[in-house]
Structure 1
Amino acid sequence: MDSLQERYLTDDQGNRIGVLLDIAAYQQLLDKLEELESLYAFDQAVASEDESMPLEDAIMEIEAQRTSSP
C-alpha cells in the first residue's frame, strides 16, 4: 500500500478528532481489513474443534457472514 497522506480534523483546542484520507487510500484500507477478517475467520475455524468442511464451503460461509454483518 502506498504511504498514507492523511490530514487531520481538529477541535478548537487543536485535538485531533478525525482523519481525512484520499478515497483510493480509504478503499485500500477497507480491502486490507476484509482480507484480515477472512484470515481471522479462517484461523478461528482451524483452532475450533468443530467438524471439518470442504474449503469451498468454508469460504462461502465466511463470505456469507461477512456480507450479512453491518
Structure 2
Amino acid sequence: MTGIRYVTDETGRRVAVQLDLDQHRELWEDIEDALLAEERQGEEAIPYEQYRAERQRRRRQDGD
C-alpha cells in the first residue's frame, strides 16, 4: 500500500508505522477519534442543557 511505511526492529518485527498524511489523513483522523472515544468511555456524561448553562455562567464570570 502506498504512503505507508513500517519501522522494524533488528529482527524484522514491525514496531511502528509511518503514514503519509497527505494520502491517509482521513484514516489517521478515524484512528484518533477511536482512541479518544475509548479514553473517554468511563467519563460521566452531562445533559447538553446543563453543559450550556455552565458554559454561559463561566463566560459571564470571565467577562467581568
Q: TM-score, normalised by structure 1?
A: 0.38
Q: TM-score, normalised by structure 2?
A: 0.40
Asked which structure has the greater CA Rg, the reply is 2
The structure whose residues are more often strand, as a share, is 2
